[in-house]
Amino acid sequence: MKKLLTQGKLSLIIIFLVLVIDQLIKIAVKTNMYFHESIRVTDWCYIYFTENNGMAFGMEIFGKLFLTTFRIVAVAAIIYYLHKMIKRGTMKTGFIVCLSLILAGAAGNIIDSVFYGMIFSESTPFQLAQFVPWGEGYTSLFHGRVVDMFYFPIIDTYWPDWMPLVGGNRFIFFSPIFNFADAAISCGIIALLLFYSNYLNQHSSTQSTDKNEKAA
């Protein structure tokens, strides 16, 4: 009896849901919150609207065009590998789920980088962003900024005065501000490392052995 939900269909559903949820959250935040506006949910949970030019969790590395191009190339590589693994049918479903989460998260941030600068007006502390006609946005194609909003300062305190170098300075545990796409990427990578690193190594070793046997 055939499975009702194949690995390919499951992968497509995960990618679709992550992309839709990610974009709905980003659009809602961007069009309803002022830049750097903060909404307190609890003492350790805030919706804080910011944007970044860099990679996940607001890291700023290399130039904007390079990062956008790198994201696109990385997503293309993941799509190729994911399709290859699904077609072979030799990988566990959980592994496919992890790859799908990483792919969807990366694609979600690509949408911001490529298109948001063309379709949104500038977000400022005094003016809400709005949809604008194509090409009349705040920047050019491939130079859009990624929208971030989740901020979890689980511990917000100060270092003791007696500590050298950092004494009296503010300490925040988990200060990065991130989005739903970043969370999908992180969950996918962490799950891969925790549950599938050994499995992946075994699978690679088996493939290498099969290739060597065929060559012989």
Which residues form the catalytic set? 148, 182
Which residues fall within 8 angstroms of residue 148, CB to CB, at 6 or more apart?
48, 49, 50, 51, 52, 57, 58, 177, 178, 179, 182
- Yes or no: say if 36 and 125 are a contact pair by the CB < 8 Å rule: yes
- Residue 14 to residue 187: CA distance in whole angstroms: 13
**Residues forming beta bridges with residue 150, ordered by sequence position:** 47, 178
Q: Residue 26, class by beta-carbon neighbours within 10 Å (0-12 exposed, 13-18 middle, 19+ buried)?
A: buried
Gyration radius of the chain over CA positions: 21
For 70-105, b/e burial (b = at least 16 CB within 10 A) is: ebbeebeebeeebeebbeeeebeeebbbbbbbbbbb
**Which among 208, 12, 186, 178 is positioned nearest to 96, based on CA atoms?**
12
- Residue 9 to residue 7: CA distance in whole angstroms: 6
